[in-house]
Structure 1
Amino acid sequence: MIDNFWKDKYPAGISAEINPDQYPNILAVLKESCQRFANKPAFSNLGKTLTYGELYKLSGDFAAYLQQNTSLQPGDRIAVQLPNVLQYPVVVFGAMRAGLIVVNTNPLYTAREMEHQFNDSGAKALVCLANMAHLAEEVLPKTGIRHVVITEVADLLPPLKRLLVNSVVKYVKKMVPAYHIAQAVKLNDALAKGRGQTVREASPKSDDVAVLQYTGGTTGVAKGAMLTHRNLVANMLQCKALMGANLDEGCEILIAPLPLYHIYAFTFHCMAMMLTGNHNILVTNPRDLNALAKELSQWKFTGFVGLNTLFVGLCNNEAFRKLDFTSLKLTLSGGMALQQATAERWKEVTGCAICEGYGMTETSPVVSVNPFQNIQIGTIGIPVPSTLCKVVDDAGVEQPLGERGELCVKGPQVMKGYWQRQEATDEILDKDGWLRTGDVAIIEADGYMRIVDRKKDMILVSGFNVYPNELEDVLATLPGVLQCAAIGVPDERSGEVIKVFVVPKPGVNLTKEQVVQHMHDNLTGYKRPKYVEFRESLPTTNVGKILRRELRDEELKKAKA
C-alpha cells in the first residue's frame, strides 16, 4: 500500500497506485498492443513507417531466426548497438520473444568500452550498425560473442531507397570504415531466413531479467542494472498513469530524439507509447538541429521528449522557431536538471510547458514527474504511482519535510540489483527495498521534491552520467602522467563539461593535444574533456586522496569572479 502522505498528492483522476502485475511480462504488452493497434503507425524513420502489426511480424521473423539458426538459449545476453533506426525495436522485441536478455549498448562506445560491457554481461550475440562494425571486429576476439548480425542504416526502407541511402552513407559520406567479420550475418538475410520459420514464443516470469542497462551507478566502472519484466512493465504503467491523461490512445505523434538505448527513451517510447498505441518519430542524429527541424516540419507532432541541452539548442535554431506548434501538448524533460531559463524559453517559443521528471537507470528509470495539470518549475514533481520517497541523513535517519537529505526510493520499478555485483547492490539497495539515489533532495509539504545537490563526484553531460574514476583510470595510462583528476564544470549547453587536471612526471613535457588524443582514443564523445589544465600538484587528503571537491570549488570561484 502507498504511504498515506502521498495518497492525496495526486491530481484528480490519477490513482495513487498501479498494478505492476497487470501483465506477466513485456511480451504480453507487446502482443496485446500489436493486435489492438495493428494498423496504427508505431515507429517512423527516414521516411518509412512501421505499423504495430508490421513490428510484430518483423520481430517474430528475427526471433525465429535466433531460435532456429543460432545456438542461443533463453537467458543468454544479446548486445544491441544501434542508434534510433527502425531496426532497433524490431531487434529488441525479437530478441525478447526468443527469450534473450537485451544489453543496450551505446553505438558511440570505443573499443575499450565495448570490450568491458560485452565481457561483463557475458554477451553471446551482437547486433550492430555497419558504421561500428570495424570496432566490433577489433573487440570480438577478446569476448565470448559468437553470433554477429550487422545492419546498415536504411535496411528496412523500400529497396530503391535502401540502396540509395546506404550507398550515400557508405561511399559518399564514407561513414562505414572497412571491416571483415567472418561469422557476420546481414540483418535482412536473418529476417528472410526467419520469415518461414516458427517462433517458440518465450514466456519469461515477471522477475526474470529483461534488460541489462549499464550505468556507473553511484561509483566507478559501469555496472549492469538488472531490470526485470515487472520493473519495466511497472514503470510503463506508472508513466501512463501520471502522464497519459494528456494523451489519447492511438492518436499521438511523439518525437523521439533521445537514443532508445538510453533507459529514459527506451521506457517512454518502446514501452509507455506501445501500451497506448502511439506513433514515435525516431530521430537518428539529433545533433544536426537543422535536419531535426526539417523532420519536425513534416509532422503535426503532439509530444516531445528531450532534455535541457536539446531544448536550448532548438530554441536557438531559427528553423525550429518557425515551426507550427499548435498541436504540441506535452513536453517531457529528464536525464539532467532543467534550467528555469530553458523552461521559460521553450514555453515562449512553442507555447507548451515542460514537465520535468527525475529517474535513474536503477529505477527503470522514472521516479517522479511534474503532472501536466500542475507544473512547478524547479522541482522534479511528485513520485509516480506506487512509489515511496524519503530523505535520510548520513546515519540513515529519515528527515522531516523541508529538510535536505539523501533521496531514497521504493517501488516496483526498482531494479533487481547489479549484474554479478552483490557487494555493489548491497551498497545501494537495502533489505526492505529502499534504493539510495546518492542525490540530495528536499520533500515539500505538497509532495513536490527538489534536488539540491548531486552525487558527490558524478559529472552529468547532456543527461549522461560520467564518473571521474573511469576518466582518471584512462588518463593515468598515458605515459608521463603522475597524477590526474576529473571534474565537471558548468556549461550553458550541456549542463556540465569535463575538465581534467594533470600533474606530469618530472622532466616530462606533456601537451594538451596528447591528453585530448589519448582520451579521444579510449572514451566515447561525451566522456572526453573540454578543458585540460597542467599543475605541479593537486589538493589531497592526509592519506593522499585527491580532493575533487576543492578543484570544483576553485572552478566555481573563477566562474563567479
Structure 2
Amino acid sequence: MTTPAHTPPVAQTIPAALHAAAQNFGTAPALADGPVRLDWTELLEQVQDVARALLARGIQVGDRVAIWSPNTWHWVVAALGAHYAGATLVPLNTRYVADEVVDVLRRVDAKALFIAGTFLKRDRLAELRATAPDLRIDTVVVLPVEGPQEPASDALNWADLAVTGASVTREQALGRAESITGDELSDILFTSGTTGRSKGVLIAHRQTLSAVRGWTECATLNSTDNYLIVNPFFHSFGYKAGIVACVLTGATMIPQIVFDVPTTMRLIDQEKITVLPGPPTIYQTILDFPERSEFDLSGLRVAITGAAQVPVVLIERMRAELDFDVVLTAYGLSESTGFGTMCRVDDDAETIAGTSGRPMAGFELKLSDAGEVLLRGPNVMLGYLDDPKSTAETIDADGWLHTGDIGVVDDRGYLKITDRLKDMYVSGGFNVYPAEIEQALARLDGVATSAVIGVPDTRMGEVGKAFIVRTPGASLTEDQVFSYATKTLANFKVPRFVEFRDELPYNAAGKVLKRQLREENS
C-alpha cells in the first residue's frame, strides 16, 4: 500500500475547515432548511458572498460581528461568513430583551449585526432603535427568517448582500480567509447570566476546532448523518457541537427554528434524522408526546445529552423506547469551549446513565478539596472579555478552570456531576445536593421533571422545596410525593414543601433557572 507524500494539515481555523469540507464532500448535502438545500460547494460560495459583503463594508480581522436571530440557514451562512472575513463571532441569545442586547453590542464594540426580521410578532430592529437610539453599528443586515419582508430603510436586507459585495472579488475574500491564524478569536459567547451579569468568554479558532473534533469522535458523527439541530445556535451546543461539528465531518445540518414537538417529530420522519443531541427536556417531551407512534423515528442513531440532572430512568427510556443506538452523556461549559468530558460508545449502560464520561479533547480533570470540578488543557478559555479579575478568580495560577460544579470521579477517571456549588444548601448542619433528590423524584410515577431548591427555615436554616411538573394526565398529590421521598431519601433530604407547576423556567441550554425559583421564594 502506498501512502501519500503529503498529508494535508489539520485545519486550525473555521474557514480552513470549510475549505476542506467543500473539497472532501463537494456535492453532498450540507444544509437543509425547508426549501433551501445547499451542498458543500454551494455553502462555501454563499459564505464567501457574505464575507465579500462584510469586506466591502470595511470589516477587518478581529472586528466583532454579532447575530441576533433564531436557527435558520441564514444564521449558518452569516456565522461562517463572519469567520471567513476574519471577524470574531458574537452570538446573541434570542431570549434577550433589547436592553441586554444593547449592553453586549456596546461591550464588544460590534461593527456589524445580523438581526432577525419580524419573528413571532417581535420586531427586534425596532426594539433596538427604541431602546438605544444613539447606538451606532456600521452594518446591520436583516435576515428574512419568516420569508420576504419589507425592506429596512436604514439597514441592508439579506438579498442586498450580493450587490454590496460585488466590489470585492472571490479571490480577495479567499485571501482574507487564508490570512487568519488559529490563535485569532473565533467567538465571544456570553454566559447564561444565571448568577448575575453575563460574561464574554474568549475562544480561539484552534480551540473551537480541537474541542469539536474530540466531540465528533466520541459522538461517531460522520458524513452519512442527518443532524437535526434543535439546540439554539447562539449556544455552544448548537453552534459548536452543531454547525462546526457538521463542517468537520460532512454531516448534513437541518436547523429547527423553534423547538416544537410535532415539528420535531415531522422533521425526524421526513428528513430521516439520525442525530438528535439536546438537553434532557427535549427527549422527555418526545417520549411523552401522545402521537409519537404516528411518526417514523426509526432512523435515530445518536443522542447526546448532559446537565446536572440526567435521570437514569430517562436514559433507559431513550434506549428502549426511542431505539437510539448511541446514547451518551457529556459535560462542558462555555469557559471550556463548551466541552470537557464525555462517555464513549463502548461504555456500558450503567456508565453512560450514571456519569458524564471521562476527559476528552486534551482536558485534564481533578477535584478540589471541596469537591469542585476543575479542568485544565489547551481548550480552556483565553479569559473573560475585559474582566481580568473574574478571569483570575476562575482560572488559577496553575491553569485549572474552576467550574463551580460539584462532582465525584471514579477510579477509571469518569466524572459524575452531583450539583452546582451554588445550588447546595445546608439543612440542620447537613449538606444537601438537590440533584440527588431530583434523581429520586424522576422515578416517581407522575413526575415529568422536577427542581429542588433550599428555602429559609427558622429551625433548620434551610429546607428543601420541590417544584414538580406532572406527566400529562397524572394526578400526583403532595402526600404521594412526601410518602415516596420519605421511603427513598434520608430525612434531612426529604423536601418539606412541594409546588406543582405547568412548566419550569429554563435557560437556553435547557437548565432550570434555579436562581429565579429562589428569588420567587426568598
Structure 1, residues 287-309: CA drift from partner, whole Å, max 9, x if none? x2112212222022221111111
Q: CA deviation at 1:457?
A: 4.9
Q: CA deviation at 1:441?
A: 0.7
Of the three residues 230, 233, 236, the one matched with 2:209 is 233
- Give TM-score scaled by structure 1 length: 0.70
Aligned to 2:199: 223
Q: CA deviation at 1:181?
A: 6.1
Identity %: 27
Secondary structure, in 3 states, of the residue corresponding to 1:259? coil
- CA 1:63/1:294 → structure 2, altered by over 3 Å: closer, same or farther? same
8 Å contact kept, 2:68–2:92:
yes
Secondary structure, in 3 states, of the residue corresponding to 1:304? coil
Rounded to whole Å, the distance in 1 between the matches of 2:346 and 2:248 is 22
Q: Which has the higher contact order (CA 8 A, sep 6+)?
A: 1
Rounded to whole Å, the distance in 2 between the matches of 1:52 and 1:297 is 23
Secondary structure, in 3 states, of the residue corresponding to 2:219? helix
Aligned to 2:243: 270
Matched, 1:410 2:376: yes
Matched, 1:435 2:391: no
- CA 1:387/1:532 → structure 2, altered by over 3 Å: closer, same or farther? closer
Which amino acid is 2:330 matched to?
Answer: G
Aligned to 2:157: 186
Of the three residues 31, 38, 43, the one matched with 1:43 is 31
Rounded to whole Å, the distance in 1 between the matches of 2:60 and 2:21 is 26
8 Å contact kept, 1:333–1:356:
yes
Which amino acid is 2:339 matched to?
Answer: V
Q: CA deviation at 1:366?
A: 1.1
Rounded to whole Å, the distance in 1 between the matches of 2:520 and 2:130 is 40
Q: CA deviation at 1:493?
A: 8.3
Q: CA deviation at 1:63?
A: 0.5
Secondary structure, in 3 states, of the residue corresponding to 1:390? strand
Matched, 1:257 2:223: no
Matched, 1:114 2:87: no
Matched, 1:64 2:64: no
- Give TM-score scaled by structure 2 length: 0.75
Secondary structure, in 3 states, of the residue corresponding to 2:254? strand
Structure 1, residues 473-517: CA drift from partner, whole Å, max 9, x if none? xxxxxxxxxxxxxx99644489xxxxxxxxxxxxxxxxxxxxxxx
Of the three residues 9, 21, 25, the one matched with 1:33 is 21
Rounded to whole Å, the distance in 2 between the matches of 1:84 and 1:137 is 23
Rounded to whole Å, the distance in 1 between the matches of 2:126 and 2:398 is 46
Any unmatched runs of 5+ in structure 1?
1-20, 155-164, 171-179, 395-404, 461-467, 469-486, 495-519, 534-547, 553-561
Q: CA deviation at 1:124?
A: 2.0
Structure-to-structure mapping, 1:80-479, within 5 angstroms: 80-131=67-118, 132-153=124-145, 165-166=147-148, 182-194=153-165, 197-198=168-169, 199=173, 200-202=175-177, 203-216=179-192, 219-244=195-220, 247=221, 249-286=222-259, 288-335=260-307, 337-352=309-324, 354-374=327-347, 375=349, 376=351, 377-394=353-370, 405-457=371-423
8 Å contact kept, 1:29–1:275:
yes
- CA 1:87/1:216 → structure 2, altered by over 3 Å: closer, same or farther? closer
8 Å contact kept, 1:217–1:362:
no
Rounded to whole Å, the distance in 2 between the matches of 1:488 and 1:201 is 56
Which amino acid is 1:369 matched to?
Answer: M
8 Å contact kept, 2:265–2:297:
no
Rounded to whole Å, the distance in 1 between the matches of 2:223 and 2:514 is 44
Q: CA deviation at 1:191?
A: 3.0
- CA 1:183/1:531 → structure 2, altered by over 3 Å: closer, same or farther? same
Q: CA deviation at 1:47?
A: 3.2
- CA 1:336/1:150 → structure 2, altered by over 3 Å: closer, same or farther? farther
Secondary structure, in 3 states, of the residue corresponding to 2:341? strand
- CA 1:185/1:85 → structure 2, altered by over 3 Å: closer, same or farther? same
Secondary structure, in 3 states, of the residue corresponding to 2:354? coil
- CA 1:488/1:109 → structure 2, altered by over 3 Å: closer, same or farther? farther
Q: CA deviation at 1:525?
A: 13
- CA 1:48/1:238 → structure 2, altered by over 3 Å: closer, same or farther? same
Rounded to whole Å, the distance in 2 between the matches of 1:218 and 1:311 is 23
Q: CA deviation at 1:526?
A: 8.9
Rounded to whole Å, the distance in 2 between the matches of 1:303 and 1:309 is 16
Structure 1, residues 152-188: CA drift from partner, whole Å, max 9, x if none? 115xxxxxxxxxx547xx9xxxxxxxxx964301011
8 Å contact kept, 2:83–2:186:
yes
Rounded to whole Å, the distance in 1 between the matches of 2:508 and 2:240 is 23
Rounded to whole Å, the distance in 2 between the matches of 1:269 and 1:343 is 21
Over the aligned positions, Cα root-mean-square deviation in angstroms equals 3.2
Q: CA deviation at 1:335?
A: 4.9
Rounded to whole Å, the distance in 1 between the matches of 2:373 and 2:509 is 30
Structure 1, residues 529-549: CA drift from partner, whole Å, max 9, x if none? 99999xxxxxxxxxxxxxx69
- CA 1:128/1:97 → structure 2, altered by over 3 Å: closer, same or farther? same
How many residues align structurally? Answer: 430
Rounded to whole Å, the distance in 1 between the matches of 2:423 and 2:514 is 17
Secondary structure, in 3 states, of the residue corresponding to 1:260? coil
- CA 1:307/1:373 → structure 2, altered by over 3 Å: closer, same or farther? same
Rounded to whole Å, the distance in 2 between the matches of 1:311 and 1:240 is 21
- CA 1:81/1:384 → structure 2, altered by over 3 Å: closer, same or farther? same
8 Å contact kept, 1:58–1:191:
no
Any unmatched runs of 5+ in structure 2?
1-8, 119-123, 425-433, 436-452, 454-463, 472-504
- CA 1:529/1:260 → structure 2, altered by over 3 Å: closer, same or farther? closer
Q: CA deviation at 1:424?
A: 0.5
Structure 1, residues 57-93: CA drift from partner, whole Å, max 9, x if none? 011001001111x233221111111211000111011
Structure 1, residues 236-260: CA drift from partner, whole Å, max 9, x if none? 121123222xx4x321111111111
8 Å contact kept, 1:110–1:524:
no
